[in-house]
C-alpha cells in the first residue's frame, strides 16, 4: 500500500508532467482535474451555491421529487457504487429512499476526501455498511471482491461529471460502470442539458467571481507546488460556448503579454492568448441515451425538472 506521502509525491509528479506538457502546446491547456486542490474543492462547493449555477440545485430537486422511483430502479438490498464520492445531500437523498440497502461503495481518487465523506455517511446511516474505494474512476480499477450477492448493483454518477469527460472517456466510463454492475445492474446518471447560451455562460462566469477564482486558483497551485512564477493577476477568467463540441469551455486569458517559468521551464504568452482549463459538455437526452446504449446500457427512465435544464437518467443493463 502507498502511504499518503507517496501518493502526494506521485500526484505532484503527474501534475508537473501535465502542466509542462499542456503549457508547451501551441494552444495551451491544463487538465481540469488539477483544479481540485483543497482550495479548488472549497471554491467548487461555493460555485454550487451561486445563483447562476443552476445544475446542483436542479439535480437535487429532481432526486428529491423522484427518490421513490429511483429506489425502485435499484431495488431492495442494492449495492450502490458511487463514482466520485461526496455528492453530499444528493447521495443522502438516494440512500434514504432505498429499501434495506446492502452496501454503499463510494469511489474517489482523494483518500482524505473519501474518508471524510464515508464517515459522514456512516454517522447519518449507522446501519448501512460502507466500503470506500480509493481509485481514479476514469481509469480501470477493481471493486472489493466480497460484494454482497443478494441485491442488484447500482451505479450512481450525479453532478454531470460525465460532461467533463470527452466522448471516448465518457464511453469508456459507461462500459466500465456496466462491467462493475454486472448483468442485473442499473445506474442513475445526472447530466446537464443543452440550453440557451447566455444561461450557460452565466453559470460558468458568475457575477460574484467565484468561478473566476476557481479557475485562477490552478495558476496559484502551479506557483506553489511546481515552483512557478506565473503572474496570476495578469490573467482573467472567460467562459466560452463551443458549438462544435457542445461544451462550455473555461479559459484563463492573458490580459497583457506575459512571461513566466514553471519548474525551470520558460513560457510566454501574448495578450489575449488563453490556457484552456475545462470542458463541460452539454447533452440532449437522445444523444446521451445513444452514448449509454453504445456503452452497454438501455435507457429505462428519464427524470427532469420543469424547465428541462437537467436530466437524471435511469439506466438498465
Ligand atoms: C464538476 N463539474 C460537473 C462542474 C461542471 O459544471 O462542469 C465543474 C465546474 N466548473 C465550473 N463550474 C463548475
Residues 77 and 148: beta-carbon distance below 8 Å? yes
Picking from 202, 214, 194, 175, the residue whose alpha carbon sits closest to that of residue 284 is 194
The yes/no answer to whether this complex scores an ipTM above 0.90 is: yes
Distance 60 CA to ligand 1 centre (A): 15
Write the pLDDT tens digit of every residue in 221-257. 999 999 999 999 999 999 999 999 999 999 999 999 9
Distance CA 108, CA 115 (A): 10
User: Best of 192, 204, 211 to mutate for ligand 1, by most ligand atoms within 8 A of CB?
Assistant: 204
The predicted model scores a pTM of: 0.94
Residues 106 and 133: beta-carbon distance below 8 Å? yes
pLDDT band for 145, please (50, 70, 90 cuts).
confident
Spatial CB neighbours of 251, under 8 Å, sequence gap ≥ 6: 237, 238, 239, 240, 274, 275, 276, 277
Looking at residue 59, what is its pLDDT? 98
Distance CA 165, CA 229 (A): 30
Write the pLDDT tens digit of every residue in 59-105. 999 999 999 999 999 999 999 999 997 667 999 999 999 999 999 99
CA dihedral of 66, 71, 74, 78, whole degrees rounded to 10? 150
**Whose CA is closest to atom 10 on ligand 1?**
204
Amino acid at each position: 500500500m502507498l502511504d499518503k506521502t507517496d501518493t502526494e509525491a506521485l500526484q505532484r509528479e503527474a501534475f508537473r508532467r501535465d502542466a509542462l506538457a499542456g503549457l508547451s502546446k501551441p494552444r495551451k491547456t491544463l487538465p481540469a482535474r488539477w483544479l481540485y486542490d483543497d482550495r479548488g474543492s472549497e471554491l467548487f462547493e461555493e460555485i454550487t451555491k451561486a445563483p447562476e449555477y443552476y445544475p446542483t440545485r436542479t439535480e437535487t430537486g429532481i432526486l428529491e421529487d423522484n427518490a421513490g422511483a429511483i429506489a425502485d430502479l435499484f431495488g431492495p438490498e442494492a449495492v450502490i457504487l458511487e463514482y466520485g464520492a461526496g455528492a453530499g445531500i444528493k447521495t443522502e437523498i438516494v440512500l434514504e429512499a432505498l429499501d434495506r440497502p446492502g452496501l454503499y461503495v463510494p469511489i474517489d481518487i482523494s483518500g482524505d476526501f473519501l474518508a471524510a465523506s464515508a464517515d459522514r455517511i456512516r454517522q447519518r446511516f449507522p446501519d448501512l455498511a460502507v466500503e470506500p474505494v480509493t481509485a481514479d474512476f476514469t481509469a480501470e480499477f477493481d471493486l472489493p471482491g466480497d460484494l454482497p450477492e443478494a441485491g442488484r448493483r447500482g451505479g450512481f454518477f450525479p453532478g454531470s461529471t460525465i460532461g467533463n469527460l470527452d466522448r471516448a472517456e465518457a464511453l469508456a466510463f459507461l462500459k466500465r460502470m456496466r462491467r462493475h454492475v454486472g448483468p442485473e445492474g442499473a445506474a442513475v446518471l445526472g447530466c446537464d442539458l443543452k440550453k440557451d447560451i447566455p444561461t450557460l455562460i452565466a453559470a460558468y462566469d458568475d457575477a460574484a467571481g467565484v468561478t473566476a477564482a476557481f479557475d485562477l486558483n490552478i495558476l496559484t497551485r502551479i506557483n506553489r507546488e511546481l515552483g512557478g512564477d506565473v503572474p496570476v493577476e495578469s490573467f482573467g477568467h472567460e467562459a466560452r460556448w463551443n458549438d462544435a463540441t457542445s461544451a462550455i469551455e473555461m479559459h484563463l486569458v492573458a490580459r497583457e503579454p506575459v512571461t513566466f517559468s514553471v519548474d525551470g521551464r520558460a513560457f510566454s504568452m501574448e495578450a489575449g492568448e488563453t490556457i484552456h482549463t475545462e470542458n463541460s459538455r452539454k447533452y440532449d437526452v437522445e444523444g446521451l441515451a445513444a452514448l449509454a446504449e453504445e456503452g452497454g446500457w438501455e435507457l429505462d427512465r428519464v427524470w427532469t425538472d420543469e424547465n428541462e435544464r437537467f436530466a437524471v437518467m435511469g439506466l438498465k443493463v
